Amino acid sequence: MTRSRGNGMTQAATLIGIFLDTIARHPKPDQFMRKGPEGWESLSSQRARTDVEHLSLGLGALGVQRGDRVALLSENRYEWAITDLAVLARGAVTVPIYPTLTAEQSRHVLANSEARLIVVSTAAQLEKIRSVAAQLPSLKTIVYMDPVPVRPEGSHGLAEVMEQGATAGRAAPGEFERLARSVTADEVATIIYTSGTTGEPKGAMLTHRNIASNVWAGLEVSPIYPTNRCLSFLPLCHIFERMGGFYSMLGGGASIAYAQSLDTVAADAMEVRPTVLVGVPRFFEKVYARVMDNSRTLPPLRRAIFHWGLEQRREAARAHFERRRLGPFAALQSRIADRLVGAKVRERVGGRVDYCVSGGAPLNAKVIEFFFAIGIPIREGYGLTETSPVITLNPPGREKPGSVGKAVPGVEVKIDTNGEILTRGPHVMKGYFRNEAATAVAITDGWFHTGDLGRFDDDGYLYITDRLKELLVTSGGKKVAPQPIEGALKTSKWITEAILIGDQRPTITCLLVPNFANLEGEARVRGWTFVRPAELLVRPEVRALYKAEVDRVNEPLAQFEKIKEFALLERELSQEGDELTPTLKVKRRVIAAKFAAVIDRLYANRSGPESH
């Protein structure tokens, strides 16, 4: 099923249709890339199509039928992509599971979705599922990607399943194409369990139409071309990477290279030289912090050149945002600064990145300005799992820092009377799987309630002010939006994470996660002795460093918004500790419970209502 793109070409209305059309229109030797023991391996369009066909038919031989839920528990890799497409080609439903989830968390997803088959990546993931399989009556089969020493009963290797599919394909030529082309736009393509920062995960049902319409709307605003190459490193289990870094790249005909891990992104980028990166704010914040930290170690002359050049390029970025031209001399300085500073920074990510896309949470305007200054524009957007995900996106050349852009084509957005952002259109999910009550609360008269607070400017650009559920209401009745304040704190070289506290409390306080690498470096320079980095946190000099940062952020705030006390946490937050979501957002309820004693001490010596 297709519709016209207005340029003589058609837009596939299903996700498997997008893949098949891309393979036919833009055949290439490097449709996918992965790194193995002998270096980067390119996988051609035809190889990918063959693998998807064989795996899809092989899953059919294992009993997977239209509408069945097939779980996918894996890190980002080529096999994730072909498994997803193989499932979709059968009219079945992909249920992605984050590989960082525990056995019990995985069991919840499998039980709620009633998945009949699961594909896992490694022996460790296989054992995780086997440990809870007895509690999952619907789960009949496990397929594993990597070889295992002993094949467990009721399980099959991916290679074996693909061999079965190849045999089935020879026996019934054309069957795969018939199956894939029979899938309709309104069939459910995937059930994605929202990781959530505040509540129990719910399974959002997204149809082919939901996601495909979002792909084409996004490409209309920010085109992708067959000459593009994307380095994929965000979890494919998350709809942002899956739509933006997978289906949209296929829709534009781009190549996709899979990073080995989040820690190897810079090294991988140097080797595959991508033109597009899709990331979340924490990734861009870390890049910014790393570049600025490295500049402090430069010899005096080079450091002076770096800061001069960066300031010239920042001025050029500000001119871009303000829609004004630089004067002739300033323009010349900017070009020189780009050669001296911008080009060198760009080389660290391969030297070919045209732009980045950011989503998942608000990105600090200072960080956006930095990336524009070094010649790598960031196009910030906004959306949720339930909206496939993109609602708004900054248009190229007309970006506004601090804004998440304008509604993409076909999408409606409005602000409710309580300040909540509502959206309606083909991107809104079908509903929550077997949870009609939650669906009725989330969608009224076709409008999806995002749970985010926002406003429009006079040009129709949307600004997110905070999460409705995360808004802090002090015991004095004052409302404080934590995200902008936390974002300002995280621009500090000393701070990795910041969590504001204050709901139903007399004043605002804060938990700070130190940047231990920078703190240790400072300790060595100043001659502070320590065995464990946490020992540094009790030093008055260290407390003074952090107080200065809090004071800096407090300065422009209203009295009731100011941070009155802060605590330094002795370790970083982690996904393994269930403190961060897979897209690195803080789980506030978990933090509040885990660090309750620390929080209570912050308020132990404070009483009464906040000052005004």
pLDDT at 9 over 80: no
The closest of 91, 129, 124, 123 to 110, measured between CA atoms, is: 129
The whole-number pLDDT of residue 477 equals: 82
pLDDT at 8 over 50: no
The whole-number pLDDT of residue 282 equals: 83
Give start and end residues of each alpha helix (H) in 322-413.
Answer: 328-337, 343-347, 365-373
Give start and end residues of each alpha helix (H) in 172-299.
Answer: 175-182, 208-221, 239-242, 248-252, 265-272, 281-295
The whole-number pLDDT of residue 605 equals: 63
* Distance separating alpha carbons of residues 259 and 265, to the nearest angstrom: 6
* Distance separating alpha carbons of residues 161 and 429, to the nearest angstrom: 32
The closest of 78, 116, 119, 77 to 97, measured between CA atoms, is: 119
pLDDT tens per residue, range 514-552:
999 999 999 999 999 898 988 999 999 999 999 999 999
Cis peptide before 409 (omega within 30 of 0): no
Secondary structure (3-state) at 336:
helix
pLDDT at 240 over 60: yes
* Domains of the chain, start order: 19-183 (3.40.50.980), 209-420+449-468 (3.40.50.12780), 472-603 (3.30.300.30)
The whole-number pLDDT of residue 584 equals: 82
Letter for the amino acid at 200? E
The whole-number pLDDT of residue 199 equals: 56
Phi and psi of 191, rounded to 5°? -120, 115
pLDDT at 116 over 90: yes
For residues 116-129, give the mean pLDDT. 97
* Distance separating alpha carbons of residues 11 and 220, to the nearest angstrom: 12
Identify the band that residue 198 occupies on the pLDDT scale cut at 50, 70 and 90.
very low
Kindly tell me the burial class for residue 444, based on how many C-beta atoms sit within 10 Å of its own C-beta (0-12, 13-18, 19 or more): exposed
Judge whether 364 and 488 are in contact, CB under 8 Å: yes
The whole-number pLDDT of residue 6 equals: 46
Q: How many C-beta atoms lie closer than 10 Å to residue 275's C-beta?
A: 18
| 3 state SS for 134-150 | HHCCCCCEEEECCCCCC
The whole-number pLDDT of residue 495 equals: 95
pLDDT at 147 over 80: yes
Identify the band that residue 2 occupies on the pLDDT scale cut at 50, 70 and 90.
low
Secondary structure (3-state) at 95:
strand
For residues 60-68, give the mean pLDDT. 98
Q: Which of the two residues, 466 and 248, has the higher pLDDT score?
A: 248
Alpha-carbon Rg for the chain, nearest whole angstrom, is: 25
Judge whether 247 and 218 are in contact, CB under 8 Å: no
Give start and end residues of each alpha helix (H) in 448-539.
Answer: 482-489, 516-526
pTM: 0.85
Secondary structure (3-state) at 467:
strand
The closest of 83, 127, 129, 124 to 106, measured between CA atoms, is: 129
The whole-number pLDDT of residue 467 equals: 77
For residues 491-497, give the mean pLDDT. 93
Secondary structure (3-state) at 42:
strand
pLDDT tens per residue, range 498-516:
999 998 899 999 999 999 9
The whole-number pLDDT of residue 195 equals: 61
pLDDT at 99 over 60: yes
Judge whether 266 and 349 are in contact, CB under 8 Å: yes
Secondary structure (3-state) at 434:
coil
Identify the band that residue 610 occupies on the pLDDT scale cut at 50, 70 and 90.
very low
pLDDT at 606 over 70: no
For residues 248-255, give the mean pLDDT. 98
pLDDT tens per residue, range 556-575:
998 999 999 999 999 999 98
Judge whether 573 and 513 are in contact, CB under 8 Å: yes
Average pLDDT score over the chain: 93
